[in-house]
Structure 1
Amino acid sequence: MKNINLYIVLLLLTFGFTNAQQTPAKKQSKTIAIKGATAHIGNGEIIENSLIIIKNGKLLNVVDSRIVKIKITDMEVIDATGKHVYPGFIIPNTTLGLVEIDAVRATDDDSELGSWNPHIRSLIAYNTESKVVESLRPNGVLLAQVTPRGGRISGTSSVVQLDAWNWEDAVAKEDDGIHLNWPSSFSRGRWWLGEDPAMKMNKNYVKQVKEITDFFNATKAYAKGSDQTLNLPYEATEGLFNGSKKLYIHVGNEKGIIDAINFSKENGVKDMTIVGGYDAYKVTDLLIKNNISVLLKRVHSRPGQTDDDYDLPFKTAKILVNKGVLVALEGSGQMERMNARNLPFYAGTTAAYGLTKEQALQLITLNTAKILGIDATYGSLEEGKSATLFISEGDALDMRTNILSHAFIDGRLISLESHQTTLWKRYSEKLKNQD
Structure 2
Amino acid sequence: MKNIKYLYSVLMLCCTLTFAQQTPADKQTEAITITGATIHVGDGTVIENGTVVLENGKIQAVGNSSTASKGKVIDASGKHIYPGFIGANTNLGLVEVDAVNASNDQAEMGSMIPHVRSLIAYNAESKVIESMRPNGILTAQVSPNGGRISGTSSIMQLDAWNWQDAVLKTDDGIHLNWPSSFSRGRFWLGEPRGLKPNENYAKQVDEVVSFVKESKAYLNGKRAQKNIPYEAMEGLFNGKQKLYVNVDDEKGITDAVNFARENGISMVVVGGYQAYTVTGLLKSNNVPVLIDHTQSLPKTNDDDYDLPYKNPKLLADAGVLVGIHTGNNSNFQTRNLPFYAGQVVGQGMSKEDALKLITSNIAKILGIDDQLGTIAVGKNATL
Is TM-score (shorter-chain normalized) higher than 0.5? yes
Q: How far apart are residue 17 of structure 1 and its match? A: 4.0
Whether 1:141 aligns to 2:137 is: yes
Aligned to 2:171: 175
| Cα offset, 1:197, TM superposition | 2.2
Q: 1:82 aligns with which of 78, 81, 93?
A: 78
Tell me if the contact between 2:139 and 2:155 (Cα under 8 Å) persists in the aligned partners: yes
Give how far 1:232 is off: 1.0
How many residues align structurally? 377
1:36-435 matched pairs, under 5 angstroms = 36-65=36-65, 68-70=66-68, 72=69, 75-269=71-265, 271-333=266-328, 335-389=329-383
**What is the distance in 1 between the residues matched to 2:135 and 2:194?**
40
Pair 1:11–1:192, CA change in 2 (3 A) = farther
Q: For residues 14-63 of structure 1, what are the alpha-carbon distances to aligned partners after superposition, in whole Å with 9 as ceiling and x for unaligned? A: 78645431111000111000001000000110101111100111110001
Aligned counterparts of 1:279 and 1:387: Cα–Cα separation in 2: 36
Judged with a 3 Å threshold, the aligned counterparts in structure 2 of structure 1 residues 110 and 52 are, in CA distance, closer, same or farther, namely same
Q: Alpha-carbon deviation of 1:191?
A: 1.4
Q: CA deviation at 1:128?
A: 0.7
Task: Rate the CA distance shift 1:345–1:257 in 2: closer, same or farther, 3 A.
Answer: same
Instruction: Label 1:136 to 1:219 Cα distance change in 2 as closer, same or farther (>3 A).
Output: same
Structure 2 length normalisation: TM-score?
Answer: 0.95
How far apart are residue 337 of structure 1 and its match? 1.5
Q: Distance in 1 between matches of 2:101 and 2:15?
A: 21
Say if 1:82 and 1:226 are closer, same or farther in 2 by CA, change over 3 A. same
Q: Distance in 2 between matches of 1:10 and 1:107?
A: 29
- Residue identity matched to 2:208: I
Whether the aligned pair in 2 keeps the contact of 1:366 and 1:375 (CA below 8 Å) is yes
CA distance in 2 between partners of 1:218 and 1:348 (Å): 44
State the Cα deviation string for residues 218-268 of structure 1 (Å, max 9, x = none): 001101111412111111111101001000000000000000000111122
Deviation, 1:379, is: 0.5
Structure-2 separation of matches of 1:107 and 1:338: 14
What is the DSSP-based 3-state SS (H/G/I as helix, E as strand, rest coil) of the residue aligned with 1:301?
coil
> SS of the counterpart of 1:226?
coil
Q: Which runs of 5+ in 2 are unaligned?
A: 1-8
- Asked if structure 1 preserves the Cα contact closer than 8 Å seen for 2:38 and 2:49, the reply is yes
Across the aligned residues of Structure 1 and Structure 2, the Cα RMSD in angstroms comes to 1.8
Q: Provide closer, same or farther for how the CA distance between residues 14 and 174 of structure 1 changes in structure 2, counting only shifts above 3 A.
A: farther
2:61, 2:67 within 8 Å by CA — same for their partners in 1? Answer: no
Kept after mapping to 1: 8 A contact 2:249/2:272: yes
TM-score computed with the length of structure 1 as normaliser = 0.84
SS of residue in 2 equivalent to 1:262: helix
Q: Secondary structure at the match of 1:36?
A: strand
Are the aligned partners of 1:20 and 1:129 in contact in 2 as well (CA < 8 Å)? no
Give per-residue Cα distances to partners, 1:378-402, cap 9 Å, x unaligned: 000000111100xxxxxxxxxxxxx
Deviations 1:180-213 (A, max 9, x none): 0000111112111222222111111000000000
Whole-angstrom CA distance in 2 between matches of 1:83 and 1:207: 56
How far residue 274 of structure 1 moved from its aligned partner, in angstroms, is 0.1
Task: Quote how far apart the aligned CAs of 1:336 are.
Answer: 2.5
**Secondary structure at 1:127's aligned position in 2?**
coil
User: Which whole-Å deviations, capped at 9, do the CAs of 1:358-379 have from their partners, x for residues lacking one?
Assistant: 0000000000000001000000
**Which amino acid is 2:283 matched to?**
I
Q: Say which structure, 1 or 2, has more relative contact order (CA 8 Å, 6+ apart).
A: 1
CA–CA distance in structure 1, aligned partners of residues 19 and 239 of structure 2:
42
